[in-house]
A and B are shown apart, each in its own frame.
Chain A
Amino acid sequence: MSAVGAAAPYLHHPGVSHSGQVSFLGAQLPPEVAAMPRLLGDLDRGTFRKLLKLVVSGLQGEDCREAVQRLGITAHLSEERLGALLAGTHTLLQQALRLPPASLKPDTFKDQLQELCIPQDLVMDLASVVFGSQRPLLDAVARQQGACLPHVANFRWRVDVAISTSALARSLQPSVLMQLTLSNGSAHHFEVPTVKFQELRYSVALMLKEMADLEKKCEHKLQD
């Protein structure tokens, strides 16, 4: 296979490995990844590791523009080659990180990269990012990138008892005052009459039970 060189990805159906499995990169190989073997060429491992570190920082949302410029200078890489390498490595990692480790296993990942003719030691470096100790942090960052409704950022409450008001003579009814601050910055301040509070508490308890049931069902059915 090594004698075929950079032409290998184009000789069989792109994205389908010899085992017939669709690559984690999808049915259509992204062009920036297809270009990788040619770009990597004689790149030394030290330089690749520095590049990899920058891509990981980028995935975590850090601004790496200055560091990238410095790398280009010290490693004598043209802006074009550096840009292409960053794009290819970024897409490769992003697509691998999309899938949970149970779905894309380390061996499958390494095999599919080798089929793309990426050098063995670089494959190991890439695998250590996807399946290493940084994975939980990268997953946490990814979770925040999906579209979702606001979550509770802060929940403050108070129990009040209205003794009397200027409008109506009320019986000593307690009521709950809630202040919900959401992750989108909005704040909601409202009174919850006792009856409504019971309804809220019951609803949340029911949701918890349904959620636990759903999680049990997920373990048994929906297997990949």
Chain B
Amino acid sequence: MAASAALILRESPSMKKAVSLINAIDIGRFPRLLTRILQKLHLKLETVGWQLNLQMAHSAQAKLKSPQAVLQLGVSNEDSKSLEKVLVEFNHKELFDFYNKLETIQAQLDSLT
């Protein structure tokens, strides 16, 4: 009899189906299934691309001349079968804040050597 604990996983139809499928698997094959799932979850940054644009107008504002940076992060799992391109936009301040965070990370990396 379990004490009342908050459910971490939502009891959705797909979740119920997943549980019944997992229960039906041969117990010997389960570690391999786990490895494959973890491989899919383990994503790596493969490519970095960027673009600098000058936004002149949009639907609600004209005559802007506002610089916008777009960063394209190519992320894939270890199989390298599919590269998901994550696009992120920054204005000047946002890009500066992001850069400062990267510098903090660098300081951490430096402290390890």
In the complex, which residues 51-100 of chain B have their Cβ closer than 8 Å to any Cβ of chain A?
52, 54-55, 58-65, 67-71, 73, 75, 86-90, 92, 94-96, 98-99
> Is B106 in contact with chain A by the CB < 8 A criterion?
yes
What number of residue pairs across chains A and B have CB atoms under 8 A from each other?
Answer: 138
Residues in B whose Cβ lies below 8 Å from that of A196: 44-46, 48
Task: Kindly state the separation between the CA atoms of A210 and B71 in the bound complex, as whole angstroms.
Answer: 14
> How distant is A177 from chain B, measured CB to nearest CB, in Å?
10
Residues in B whose Cβ lies below 8 Å from that of A146: 55, 58-61
Of the residues B60, B92, B105, contact of A159 by C-beta under 8 Å: B105
Q: Known interface pairs A99-B63, A145-B60, A222-B65. Does A207 touch B43 (Cβ–Cβ under 8 Å)?
A: no
Of the residues A176, A178, A192, A215, contact of B67 by C-beta under 8 Å: A215
Size of the chain B interface, CB-CB below 8 angstroms: 45
Report yes or no: B101 in contact with A151, Cβ–Cβ below 8 A.
no
Report yes or no: B71 in contact with A190, Cβ–Cβ below 8 A.
no
Residues in B whose Cβ lies below 8 Å from that of A99: 62-63
Residues in B whose Cβ lies below 8 Å from that of A150: 87-89
Q: Can you give 9 contacting A-B residue pairs, CB < 8 Å?
A: A100-B61, A139-B61, A149-B88, A150-B87, A157-B101, A157-B105, A190-B73, A207-B50, A207-B90
